[in-house]
Structure 1
């Protein structure tokens, strides 16, 4: 399928995926952290208390995702998606209206669950299920919503905060989420796919089977992938969570460090698009084992960087894995476990990812308090990603031959199929 024809034919489905990933921004760390100072002041919280509340809400979100993520195997996107967006809007309203500190963990849980958790989960599961031969392009296109939100929402809302009280800005977020409900319904309101494809059971995984979650959890490959699933969420989040402290350690102003963020976002978008193309050409089995190697280089460089040139390359390598991480793991679960129960299986992976985003900031912060400096931690983190890469290479290398011939050959003729 030519690129132009692919985008035209599947525009509603791709746009629906991008809409859901963009809306997840309101529950992502990069957005919530904009208001950290105002939240701490309003509720009289120290850095440690706010970090503890954030970790508590995020961890609870990870636990609930284990169950809720499986709903994508039961309900269609045009049914489940609006419910999640309404829940996210309610969470934004709660952050705006809440005046009780004991309710704050519940508010954080709601933002993380409906935003970071379910909104992004619905999008990537839909792309993995609807598309086979063009799964890489579909995932990279839908994931542009992440990049767009990360690139523009912080700048916009920080600017608006100089004019509007921070609580009213959360109401703006609620309105945007509610506006997404009819838009999502319109995008997915019509069946535009031939019936024979709409009834397609999707592609199978290892040994020619559609794996259930129970089967996946009883086999070693899922657990081999856990360190790789947890790592980027934990340590990417930790890096940005401690950005002010990192600037102090390097002897820079905060604005000097932040000036590298646009580069990071641009390169991550490029890496995301390139990963989608490479996935369709080479397959998840060949690419997934090695996509975290740039993270090793990144944290080693960030540990030793003292000037802007080194920091440039540190963020460049970080962005390479960040972009690939939005594509390759999501395709991996579909390729190796089939698509019939992909929602339930991916929910476990999403729970690990959300848990990682809770553990990373808390663990690194504790280590800082114990006197283990951030630069020394970065060297240890680089070692962690070497470990995760070796595990992936061994596990995927052993499992790849069990894929049914053609199931991991993305160049074979296949088309997207709508199952919303």
Structure 2
């Protein structure tokens, strides 16, 4: 039996618990909520700009809340956290179905983004990082595939469901699914906590000492690393948000551009699995200098190329970078800041990246309105990725330099 199958046989319940959380987190993602945008704008009488403002307000509010709420993952078990966040996500879907006022819509977006986009995957990644050490990369890569599965199943399924019973009733059905499918599964699968030291042979111990969130906020490495961590969310969100405008500029078919998402999904999944292998083989710190390189090339291609095949190559590059970025972030944080306060620290970083995803469409849209060409913006974003990749190599060296001496001291025999 292969090592991969042996790993799955021994760890299926924990990987599956986190996978379920990332699968259902799709409900709070922009790609899912955007499917109801036409109905929302029509029924609430919103222009594209007004709908964008509602979405930005709800998203930014969720980002402000996440650093505080996300810290509960450090104090409570996954089962207890699930008992809190699953009913709240279900309540958000119910509010989407029943709300008739724009204030209710803002609250809906806030809850969907806080619990769907925020707490569901945050809980999954934090728990996985704690449950696994030597095979953390492999475990995280499998858990992250829940996003791909959710986008493949839930988005298409909701479109069909809305056509059959209406979009509002479709959102109610989603809430029921969270309560009767997601919550019981997570409660059952996570009933037993995994202890890495008792189940892994010769674990690769590379984690740093346990930093507090206050210490992280005073660490220059944190601010340098955020220049890299924020880039994928900012750039990919901008590209997807303005895809119709880009297609019009390039004279491409929107249908052809949409079909390129198949390439995105496939390469994203492969990149996720490959990155997990590389992290287990080397470390997350060894991988981070390379994560932004495909993203930089993709942005420059979009800004300069007009050939019909460009979207397919770009989607492959975006998928490679996005899969690597998500897997690496989940794995590298324990190597930089330890495990004890991982939930609080990760919530802080996720909140910052959510700010970036919320700000990206607004900033680039404003620049387009005042005459700054969108292709030039894309090229600028692409060029940005290359010096920041060098900066990430510097960050990795600095983290190793401060981690290894402390590890050597801790490994020294007493006396």
**TM-score between both structures, scaled by the size of structure 2:** 0.93
- The answer to whether the 8 Å contact 2:95/2:104 transfers is no
Query: Within 5 A, what are the aligned runs for 1:4-403?
Result: 4-179=5-180, 180-190=182-192, 205-206=207-208, 209-403=209-403
Change (3 A) 1:227 1:155: same
Deviation string for 1:238-275 (max 9, x for gaps)?
Answer: 21112221211121232111010011100000000000
Q: CA deviation at 1:194?
A: 8.8
**Higher alpha-carbon deviation: 89-98 or 382-391:** 382-391
Deviation string for 1:61-118 (max 9, x for gaps)?
Answer: 1110111111111111111023111111110110010001122111100000001011
- The answer to whether the 8 Å contact 2:129/2:330 transfers is yes
Q: Size of the alignment, in residue pairs?
A: 403
Q: Unaligned stretches of 5+ in structure 1?
A: 409-420
**Higher alpha-carbon deviation: 187-196 or 313-322:** 187-196
Q: CA deviation at 1:151?
A: 2.2
Q: CA deviation at 1:155?
A: 2.1
Deviation string for 1:29-67 (max 9, x for gaps)?
Answer: 010011111101110001111101101110011110111
**Higher alpha-carbon deviation: 153-162 or 187-196:** 187-196
- The answer to whether the 8 Å contact 1:297/1:382 transfers is yes
SS at match of 1:308: coil
Distance 1:102 1:181 in 2: 28
Change (3 A) 1:393 1:324: same
SS at match of 1:10: helix
Distance 2:68 2:346 in 1: 11
Distance 1:164 1:406 in 2: 60
- The answer to whether the 8 Å contact 1:13/1:188 transfers is yes
Deviation string for 1:212-252 (max 9, x for gaps)?
Answer: 11111111111111121211111211211122212111212
Q: CA deviation at 1:14?
A: 0.1
Q: Unaligned stretches of 5+ in structure 2?
A: 409-415
Change (3 A) 1:266 1:194: closer
Deviation string for 1:147-193 (max 9, x for gaps)?
Answer: 11122322222233332311111112111211211111111123576
Which residue of the partner structure matches residue 413 of structure 1?
none
- The answer to whether the 8 Å contact 1:27/1:114 transfers is yes
Distance 1:195 1:36 in 2: 47
- The answer to whether the 8 Å contact 2:131/2:194 transfers is no
Deviation string for 1:355-379 (max 9, x for gaps)?
Answer: 1111111111112222222211111
Change (3 A) 1:111 1:367: same
- The answer to whether the 8 Å contact 1:203/1:407 transfers is no
**TM-score between both structures, scaled by the size of structure 1:** 0.91
Change (3 A) 1:194 1:347: closer
Q: CA deviation at 1:288?
A: 0.9
Higher relative contact order (CA 8 A, sep 6+): 1
Distance 2:355 2:85 in 1: 20
- The answer to whether the 8 Å contact 1:17/1:126 transfers is yes
